[in-house]
Structure 1
Amino acid sequence: MNSSDRQKRKDEYKATYTKKIEEVSGNCLADASLLKQYQALAEMIMEDVSSQWAKTNTLYNKNESKQVYFFSIEFLIGRLMKSYLVNLGIEDIVRECSEEMGLDYEAILAQESDPGLGNGGLGRLMACYLDSSSAMGMPAHGNGIRYKYGLFEQRIINGEQIEVADNWLKNGYPFEIRNPDKSVIVKYYGQIHAQNINGNLTFVHENYEPIMAIPYDIPIKGYHNETVNSLRLWSAEPLEAFDLPTFNQGHFLNAVRHKSEAEAISQILYPNDNGFDGKLLRLKQEYFFVCAGLKRIITDFKRSNENSMDGFSDKICIHINDTHPALCGPELMRVLMDEEGLGWDDAWKITVAALSFTNHTVLPEALEKWPVDMMNDLLPRIYMIIEEINRRFLLELNTKYPNDTPRNQSLSIIRDNYVHMASLSIVSSHSINGVAALHSKILREETFNGYYQVYPERFHSVTNGVSPRRFLMSSNPELKDLIDESIGTTWHHNLFDLKELLKYINDPVFYDQFNAVKLSNKLRLANYMANHNSVTVDPNSIFDIQVKRIHEYKRQLLNALHVLYLYNRLKENPNLEMAPRTFIFAGKAAPGYYYAKEVIKLITAIAELVNNDVSLHDKLKVVFLANFNVSLAEIIYPAANISEQISTAGKEASGTGNMKFMMNGAITLGTMDGANIEILEAVGPSNIVTFGLSADEVYNYQQHGGYRSVDIFEQDPRIQQILHQLVDGTLGLGISFQSIYDSLLLYNDGYFVLKDFNAYTDAQNRVDQLFRNQTVWTKMSISNVANSGIFSSDRSIKDYQQEIWKII
């Protein structure tokens, strides 16, 4: 674009924006609030995006394109305004015009809420996959729940996690369109009876409790193209919001009871399910978005297919993201049989061909199961169908393995009076995949080995990926500009082209430019910590960062104990030679997960101890950043020197944070777990620091025993000291972490924290030595960026497209 065309475009933007401000606020530009400035820009964006959205949908219908629907209980989309501007190719124009009009561009962007529609990697992965699908012009859409309050806002008060409702919709959400004309009735409870209609056995659902599912659609704009796909989120509402006769009789609370019960379904993500009511609400949620989503997909398919279901599985892919949408199988069977009149065999053939399943864990607590009585009571027809799916599956097993009843029963979908959702997903889908090479191997050889023997052709592996547009181009613009100036822009569309950076691997001028970008990002994060945590840190120190959901297997505890050990070393020898360290933690613990909350409390107690000890001369700082979300992640990843990926080997399915850190030049310090293995393969052993037990060693200990944490405790005075400090008042008068102490010694350290402690400290010593040689460190960092192409979610989507969905 030449200078005159650019000026013309800027003039047009300013005039349009000024007029839009007046429309949304009733004030002139000078008097409009920041919120109104944001809302005006959002409306302009939606006008541009919506026209492309309509054209995309028309094109899909005209071409009868095969479409993919991601069913997921989480979609952690993050703020969208900047993404829209970048993908539309107008961010520079808007930024420049804002400055020329005397407006604060960053402050306008900050008015957008960060939708709390996910907890971590599961939901962020779905958001990356939607981004990549649109960037690649592939028809793929999301289907989930529009949580009114999202997960929760995390606050740290007196060192402890406090959950506060995350009211992300308080100012409305300008990037969604409510479509009440596409509402669906979801039915709970009631009775099922069979009757003969025109010679066919038909099941009728009576006396059910109806809930209205209202869809809200969000456009997912592709990068520098005309593709706009959709994220559909369902909100639960009662059929009648207010019972006037009951109110007039004086029963005021009963008049709104049904409204409250209905809206609870889409109120928050992951209600505490430690009790019966929480479990029941969770099951209601899982059926709610499955039932509503499938109904609209089938309705839309029939409208464009002459009211027929012929060819449904050739044109529709229903992708189940983990076990939360496992009811897609029986619900699709219900619709095909009860509403479309198909027989079991035809309906089952369509269902299996249409469904694919990604499993995200091997942890027992994450492999969902529901009590039979709860399922049967809440979803009577669905449970009938699950029983029949299971009966036929067991017949298949007994035919294939006639003399192995115990083995066959162990694979039953219904066992021990529970419905096992991973088993249901496997049996109902034509494809099952893990999300990293090691994870997929464990699924085949351990977790789902019995099913793998029955259906070996169904098992695949697709390593996760992340969006380079959000987690490099948008969140690290200085690095993006440096890469553009050095190797051009082809990498925007093919991240493998980052390998061109290896031409500069020995270039001291490029080193200086690269390190200047890193320092700038560290200064930004340091300012954030000063403002939000009142902690001053040295931006030249090693930023050693672990940000992820707080869980025992992710081993934030191992990291925290090492910090305490390092503190002890400095107290013993204030002149200890070491690069200054800033340890940064962030992540949320599930509201009912007491142990994880204790780990947060421990980290904040260590931070209090370390940060207030002037004798350390600022060689060591510890910060816990509250309320980790996508917006905060975009500040953290570009600033990291060390990416802590230290899960117990064999427990992490893949990880995606490890990829985001790597993409921004952080060095992985990790176990051989999840996608760390693929990172090692990509960057080579000289550009990563690894340690600890292997997955096979962990499995062997768990299966055969032989590990006694007390032995390590008795042999290692360092461990004795730090564990005693957990309970002797070192971390604050009256503060004791007895439950953590007991977990490590009395309950034999189930996640091998003490077993890996020595290897971890050795690895941290290697990190210190490497960092103090800035030439070596910079070379490692550049190598990580250059070799991160394989972890683009574009590559992941291509793998799914070719291996599983078979989209040409």
Structure 2
Amino acid sequence: FFSCASLQDIVRRHLQQYGDLGSLPDKVAIQLNDTHPAISVAELMRILVDENGLKWEEAWKLTKGTFGYTNHTLLPEALESWPVALLERLLPRHMQIVYQINAAVLTEARAKASFSDQQVANVSLIDEHGGRRVRMGQLAFVGSHSINGVSALHTELMKQTVFADLHKLYPERINNKTNGITPRRWLMQCNPGLTKLITERIGPEFLDDIEKLHQLDAHAQDPGFQKQFAAVKHANKERLVKLIKDRVNVKVSADALFDVQIKRIHEYKRQLLNIIHAVALYDEIRAHPERNWVPRVKIFAGKAAPSYWNAKLIIKLINDVARVINNDPAVRGLLKVVFLPNYNVSLAELIVPAADLSEQISTAGMEASGTGNMKFMANGALTIGTMDGANVEMHKEVGDDNIFIFGLTTEQVDEKRAKGEAPAEVLQSTHRLREALDAISSGVYSPDDPNRYRDLIGGLRDHDWFMVARDFDAYWDAQAKVEKTWLDRSRWDAMAIRNTANVGFFSSDRTIRQYAHDIWDVQTA
């Protein structure tokens, strides 16, 4: 409905202004935002051929010239497919068009590229496995002149995985456009204190050209500026302290390290790794009260898809663990766990400026880009993360000394998955992990239902698809490095300032300029 309405309006207005459809790709650019509007490819062909009498070949040329496709995820469940029977019943003409497009693509694959039967099946718009389905990602790809990923790593993985054979057939189409965030909302609006401080130090030019934040780099070692920068952060933390008390009735200290993971709840994003670390840290604090522990508040927020059982179970686990840790006087307030409900942008605008540590710990090769990582970076939080998504480019921008990178690489993850071995050797050698998993699975944190997390933890022991167990030691060591750095406050503050100073590349202004220049062919004055 939305695709049909939008396209009819675009074509109507184009004809009204220019009189013919031959100039459509020169005057109109339509960007497909993931696979959701991919039916637009068939719909525009229907409008051009059926309603405006164009020949198929001309209509197909105009369609490809008009559409661009942004792929946002490599996850199979997010690359939509629809049953052929459903489309034949609801949209019979569109299904005819899809068949005709597919016939041309398959003929081209055999004739031009000499594809094997398997490669032909891979590029087909129709998936023949277990019930015939229309692959909307394939439809969007073949119907667009430009296909882009949203980070350098994601784009390379697109070429190697989900669109490998389509990339061989059309090698000129895939390009990268790394995501960005708007500094108007994610620095100037949500953190006026920091914006004012930066303006006083380097002038207001960065407000219009965020790349000018680079000038802040020269002030990272200035003790006076470090003190001012830290004071702004502390004020933002005090604001969040009040919100946490109001929302979930947990008292936390603004002097603690605010360790934040806010994003959609998904197993690949590994909130589970984070909360298991909290359990292991809780055990260590109780076992060694004599150590100089860094006070830490682990803050979680995010929503789970309604039918995603394990994601909802992870939310339950975070709250169960929070209940135990937050009410144990033996911990002496050194560790608190908070899950803030009803996550939305307004809440994020309060959490992001208050974060000290940004958790970007997805299984390598699974996060397309991430933008939360950029929002935290802009506000002077340090990142603990894997080499995944835009973390790779963040690492490049800030340098190895200003980010905490850990964990398996994409290649190592693929290698371990291919072997299909249970992570027995990891569980045998890592007593912290083993004891934490035993406590969770045996009902220590769910006395009302001791078996609540048995299957969730069992998945880590059996196959560990998301590498939670295998990355635990590396994560623990990276967190220890975080604590050591936190105790050297001058170094921490300098790192935080450098993160803000080097966030300019991740502005959506740069992203949109690249779309306009490289994909839409917008001529600037």
Q: Structure 2 length normalisation: TM-score?
A: 0.97
Q: State which of 316, 328, 342 in structure 2 corresponds to 1:613.
A: 328
Q: In the alignment, what sits opposite 2:192?
A: 477
Instruction: Tell me the residue number matched to 1:648.
Output: 363
Whole-angstrom distance in 2 between the partners of 1:749 and 1:643: 24
Aligned to 2:271: 556
State the identity %.
Answer: 45
Q: Distance in 1 between matches of 2:81 and 2:435?
A: 42
1:291 partnered with 2:12: no
Of 305, 318, 324, 1:603 maps to: 318
Q: 2:6 and 2:140 mapped to 1: Cα distance?
A: 17
Deviation at 1:367, TM superposition (A): 1.4
Contact residue 357 and residue 425 of structure 1 kept, 8 A: yes
Question: Contact (CA 8 Å) 1:390, 1:413: kept in 2 or not?
Answer: yes
Computed over aligned residues only, the root mean square deviation of the Cα atoms, in angstroms, reads: 1.1
Where 1:373 maps in the other structure, the secondary structure is: helix
SS in structure 1 at match of 2:376: helix
Q: State which drifts further: 626-635 or 505-514.
A: 505-514
Q: Which secondary structure does the structure 1 equivalent of 2:330 belong to?
A: helix
Separation (CA, whole Å) in 2 of partners of 1:727 and 1:682 = 41
Task: Indicate yes or no: 2:502 matched with 1:787.
Answer: yes
Q: Residues of 2 paired with 1:403 and 1:592: CA distance?
A: 39
1:734 paired to 2:448: yes
CA distance in 2, matches of 1:705, 1:544: 34
Query: What is the alpha-carbon distance in structure 1 between the residues aligned to residue 441 and residue 292 of structure 2?
Result: 29
Cα pair 2:113 2:169 within 8 Å, conserved = no
Query: Take 2:420 and 2:89, find their aligned partners in 1: how far apart are those partners?
Result: 45
The one-letter code of the counterpart of 1:358 is: T
Structure 2 vs 1, CA of residues 503 and 449 (structure 1 numbering), >3 Å: closer, same or farther? Answer: same
Equivalent residues of 1:463, 1:675 under 8 A apart: yes
Are the aligned partners of 1:611 and 1:620 in contact in 2 as well (CA < 8 Å)?
Answer: yes
The answer to whether the Cα contact below 8 Å between 1:595 and 1:739 also exists between their aligned partners in 2 is: no
1:493 to 195, 198, 208: 208
Structure 1 residue 548, shift from structure 2 partner: 0.3
Match of 2:162 in 1: 447
Separation in 1 of the partners of 2:302 and 2:420? 33
For residues 300-335 of structure 1, the C-alpha deviation after alignment (integer angstroms, 9 at most, x for no partner) is 2122123x2230110000000111111111010011
CA contact (8 A) 1:683 1:783 kept: yes
Mapping of 1:230-249 within 5 angstroms?
none
2:183 to 460, 468, 487: 468
Aligned equivalent of 1:302? 15
1: CA distance, partners of 2:497 / 2:243: 25
Query: Which amino acid in structure 1 is aligned with residue 13 of structure 2?
Result: D
Secondary structure in 1 matching 2:469: helix
State the distance in 1 between where 2:400 and 2:61 align.
47
Aligned twin of 1:429? 144
C-alpha separation in 2, matches of 1:363 and 1:684? 29
- Aligned partner of 1:382 in structure 2 is 94
Question: Aligned match of 2:109 in 380, 394, 397?
Answer: 397
- Written as runs of structure 1 = structure 2, the 5 A alignment for 1:147-226 is none
Q: How far did 1:707 drift?
A: 3.8
Equivalent positions of 1:94-105 (< 5 A) are none
1:336 paired residue number: 48
Aligned to 2:289: 574
How far is the alpha carbon of 1:741 from its aligned partner? Answer: 1.4
Matched, 1:754 2:469: yes
- Structure 2 equivalent of residue 371 of structure 1: 83
1:319 to 31, 36, 39: 31
Report what 1:415 is aligned to.
127
- Where 2:318 maps in the other structure, the secondary structure is helix
Contact 2:109 2:115 in 1 (8 A): no
CA distance in 2, matches of 1:573, 1:292: 65
Unaligned runs of 5+ in 2: none
Partner amino acid for 1:569?
A: E
How far has the Cα of 1:710 moved from its partner?
A: 2.4
**1:493 is aligned with what amino acid?**
D
* Counterpart AA for 1:434: G
> Which runs of 4 or more aligned residues in structure 1 lie more than 6 Å from their structure 2 counterparts after TM superposition?
none
Is contact 1:401–1:408 with CA below 8 Å preserved after alignment?
Answer: no
Tell whether the 8 Å contact from 2:427 to 2:434 is kept in structure 1 after alignment.
yes
- Counterparts of 1:667-678 in structure 2 under 5 Å? 667-678=382-393
Check the 8 A contact 2:193/2:232 in 1, yes or no. Answer: yes
Which protein, 1 or 2, shows the higher relative CO under an 8 Å CA cutoff with sep ≥ 6? 2
Amino acid at match of 1:412: S
Name whichever of 518-527 and 396-405 sits farther off: 396-405
Aligned mates of 2:289, 2:447 — CA distance in 1: 25
- Cα separation, 2, equivalents of 1:487 and 1:504: 9
Q: Cα gap change, 1:386/1:488 in structure 2, threshold over 3 Å: closer, same or farther?
A: same
Aligned residues of 2:380 and 2:496 also touching (Cα < 8 A): yes
Kept in 1: contact 2:268–2:366 (CA 8 A) = yes
Give 1:483 deviation, angstroms: 0.7
Q: Is the contact made by 2:277 and 2:476 (CA closer than 8 Å) also made in structure 1?
A: yes
Secondary structure of the structure 1 residue equivalent to 2:359: strand
Question: Counterparts of 1:654-665 in structure 2 under 5 Å?
Answer: 654-665=369-380
Instruction: Give the residue type in structure 2 aligned to 1:724.
Output: D
Aligned positions of 1:86-165 closer than 5 A:
none
> Within 1, Cα distance between the matches of 2:446 and 2:365?
35
Max radius of gyration: which structure? 1
Q: 1:358–1:432: 8 Å Cα contact kept in structure 2? A: yes
**Normalised by the size of structure 1, how large is the TM-score?**
0.63
Closer/same/farther in 2, CA of residues 365 and 464 from structure 1, 3 Å limit: same
- Whole-angstrom distance in 1 between the partners of 2:115 and 2:402: 52
Q: Shift of the alpha carbon at 1:715?
A: 2.6
8 Å CA contact 2:148–2:155 kept in 1: the answer is: yes
Query: 1 CA distance for matches of 2:315 and 2:455?
Result: 13
- Show the counterpart of 2:58: 346
* Gap change, CA 1:698 and 1:403, over 3 Å in 2: closer
TM-superposition CA deviations, 1:148-195 (whole Å, max 9, x none): xxxxxxxxxxxxxxxxxxxxxxxxxxxxxxxxxxxxxxxxxxxxxxxx
Provide, for residues 742-771 of structure 1, a one-character-per-residue CA deviation record: whole Å limited to 9, x for no partner.
Answer: 21123x111010000000000000000000
CA distance, structure 2, for counterparts of residue 310 and residue 375 of structure 1: 30
Shift of 1:403: 6.2
Change (3 A) 1:403 1:716: closer
Task: Specify the alignment match of 1:211 in structure 2.
Answer: none
**1:587 corresponds to which residue?**
302
In the alignment, is the contact (CA less than 8 A) between 1:435 and 1:461 conserved in 2? yes
Residue by residue over 1:23-77, the C-alpha shift from the partner in whole angstroms, topping out at 9 and shown as x without a partner, is xxxxxxxxxxxxxxxxxxxxxxxxxxxxxxxxxxxxxxxxxxxxxxxxxxxxxxx
1:419-477, Cα deviation, whole Å (9 max, x unpaired): 01111111100000110010011011222110111111111001000000000000000
Counterpart secondary structure, 2:464 = coil
Which secondary structure does the structure 1 equivalent of 2:294 belong to? coil
| 2:225 is the alignment partner of 1:541 | no
1:799 to partner: Cα distance: 1.1
Cα deviation, residue 526, structure 1:
0.8
Please tell me the residue identity of whatever aligns with 2:436: I
